[in-house]
A = this chain, B = another copy of it.
Amino acid sequence: MARSGAARPEEIRRHNLGLLLEQVHRDGELTRAELTQRLGLNRSTIGALVAELSELGLIDEHVPTGNERAGRPSHVVTPRVDGPYAIAVEVDVDSVVTAAVSLGGEVLIRSDHTLPSTGNTPDDIANRIAADVDAVFESLPVGARSVGIGVSTPGTVTPSGGRVEHAPNLEWRDEPFGAILTRRLPKGIELVFGNDANLGALAEHLRGAARGFHDAVYLTGKIGVGGGLIVDGKLLTGAGGFAGEVGHMLLDPAGPPCHCGSRGCVETYVGEAALLRLAERTAAPSRDSVAEVLRAARAGERAALRGVRGVAVALGRTIANLVNLLNPQAVIMGGSLASVLELCRAELEAELDVRAMSEARREVELRTAGLGDDSSLMGAAELAFGPLLADPVGTAGLGESA
């Protein structure tokens, strides 16, 4: 019923430029003929748009070689190799990954750093990121243009200011992380922040396992459980950007106490901490301790398998609630939940059969993440590319230095 504002003729060209660039960014390579068909515009309009994006230094065009079909081959449009790049940063509880990502989604450079497993302050993390960003700038050719930095954070965060409202596993609450980070970076760099699971959902929708689905859910198991919801092709953010807190959905009012103050939340049954508890491990959650349980479960160890099965049943209940509410085409599992799906799909699907309404249940596919462990990192790059894709002409500075 609601529609966006009235369209004015002068906005159409810019809108169409953004649409075309977005298609090329998503697919990496498209012919003019494909662009003509996808955008529903005529050939001369497509030609003009391609020429303008080319002048802006954003795309390249070439005539395909080795084309064996008869007739004049359609020009191939690709993102420009020396075009603008995004810096993507993924902050996790015990690691920081920093990467330069080109239009088209290619990782040009990346660095992975492991941090102490607990006690990392906003200053610690900001220092690590600043050093890594410096290294990126030094590695890239002189004249390379950055669209800015997208930062994935494991918690609720304000998009532009980077104030971390709550990152339970880092034990941060109301931290001015964005301001701390800005002070350590060269002046004038655009910084934008997002929740890790939301960014994972964005990237899986754009170029991962949820590609082509208008309605999808991304769930990721780390120490806790994160969720990102794609509705009608867009990330569902909610009124204040706090939507998608699947980890604190109630599964049992008499369940174990949760760090959020409630009981029986999804996180008390489904995250990595829950997996270790259900598998009767005493180790704290970490990459190594979780990998050990999953390895043991694959080898058939009974306690480990009981743990994974327990997580699978609770995950099935969680997904059933999401299927009943959102009727998605796909639910994508990342982090340790991808392994849970691989090991115990039958148990998970059986729970879904009982708990989900049959019409919506029939339509949903369960898949592991297409981008593996890099969903949130690639989503952080998308966040940084956002303004350029929304308005390739208006995005400051890019046109000038082309």
Please name all residues of chain B whose beta carbon is closer than 8 Å to the beta carbon of A233 when the two chains form the complex: 1-2
Please name all residues of chain B whose beta carbon is closer than 8 Å to the beta carbon of A253 when the two chains form the complex: 251-252, 317
Q: Are B359 and A242 in contact, with the CB atoms below 8 A?
A: yes
Q: Are A321 and B249 in contact, with the CB atoms below 8 A?
A: yes
Q: Are A1 and B248 in contact, with the CB atoms below 8 A?
A: no
Q: Are B242 and A360 in contact, with the CB atoms below 8 A?
A: yes
In the complex, which range does the number of interface residues on chain A fall in?
35 or more
* A245/B18 contact (C-beta < 8 A), A239-B363, A328-B239 known: no
Instruction: Give the distance in Å from the alpha carbon of A3 to the alpha carbon of B41 in the complex.
Output: 15
Q: Does A325 contact B (CB under 8 A)?
A: yes
Query: Which of A6-14, A53-61, A273-281 participates in binding chain B?
Result: A6-14
Output the nearest chain B residue to A20 by Cβ-Cβ distance: B6
Q: Are B321 and A250 in contact, with the CB atoms below 8 A?
A: yes
Q: Are B205 and A386 in contact, with the CB atoms below 8 A?
A: no
Output the nearest chain B residue to A156 by Cβ-Cβ distance: B359
Output the nearest chain B residue to A322 by Cβ-Cβ distance: B325
* A250/B357 contact (C-beta < 8 A), A5-B39, A39-B5, A324-B245 known: no
A contact set with B: CB distance below 8 Å: 1-3, 5-9, 12, 15-16, 18-19, 22, 39-41, 156, 165-166, 202, 205-206, 213-215, 227, 229, 231-246, 248-254, 260-262, 317, 320-322, 324-329, 354-360, 363-364, 382, 386, 389
- 21 A-B pairs with CB atoms under 8 Å apart are A1-B202, A1-B205, A1-B206, A1-B389, A3-B18, A6-B15, A6-B41, A8-B41, A166-B357, A227-B325, A236-B326, A238-B326, A238-B328, A239-B364, A240-B327, A242-B327, A243-B325, A243-B326, A244-B325, A245-B357, A250-B320
